[in-house]
Chain A
Amino acid sequence: MASKPRVKIPKSVSAGDVITIKTLIKHKMESGQRKDKEGNVIPRDIINHFEAAFNGNVVFSVDIDPAVSANPYIEFSSRISEAGTFVMKWTDDAGTVIETSKDIALKG
């Protein structure tokens, strides 16, 4: 049910720049608080963790709770001093990991 995440990130930066990265992934983020028509609790199903690593080093991560909206949007920053690859991972309650990567080049 999870589709390819959308990531907005600059393709090339000057060394030392702090860049802003915006991510959005489609997910219903079922909170586990709602009930269906028969009054049964709809089981919780959310993305519970996000992690962004640059050249293998974790730069930023989030522990996500059910109060985060459906289709979770996450915006964060990173200081870039070398060219490399950003790998972003979303983990859901079932343990499924959705991964995407983006290359960044240095200007000049």
Chain B
Amino acid sequence: MNISRRAFLSTSAAASAAAFFGISGQAIATVEDVEKLIAEFGGGAAAGDAGPLQLTTPEIAENGNSVPVSVNVDSPMTDDDYIESVMIMASENPRPEVATFHFTPASGIAKASTRMRLAKTQDVLAVAKTNSGQLFKVSNNVKVTIGGCGG
């Protein structure tokens, strides 16, 4: 055994942090994972600012097992100009992808909701794509307080 004291301390600190969040032994998603997903979703186009995209999440989620999430994109939803899809990601879950909604002009409005799991306090991202390939991106921070430590 030839482990320096410093290396030992830093690995054990990381391990206890992971155990604290209840995801012991599991990697969390990295920034690269999220960027790769956005690139695949958008076909390489650069994601702009939020524009007409609204992401609704609670500021504080008392139960990370069921966090309501809702997206709404202001769009005429005509055959020539509509929102094609919206992808939701949880940046620090073991896997970042949550769900992808696909709309059509017959949707009338580009609005949808579901409930998701969040492993810990983190940023939730939404990326919307128009039929012409334009991307909008927005993120919200959600505090997850399960365990009673106040996030």
Contacts and interface: CB of A to CB of B under 8 A. Distances in A.
Interface of A: 18-19, 31, 33, 54, 57-70, 72-79
B95 A62 contact: no
Interface in B56-88: 65-67, 70, 77
A79 B97 CA distance: 28
**Which range holds the interface residue count of chain B?**
20 to 34
Interface in B93-112: 93-95, 97-104, 106-109, 111-112
B16 interface: no
Contacts of B101: 60-62, 76
Contacts, number: 93
Interface of B: 23, 26, 65-67, 70, 77, 90, 93-95, 97-104, 106-109, 111-118
A54 B106 contact: yes
B117 A61 contact: no
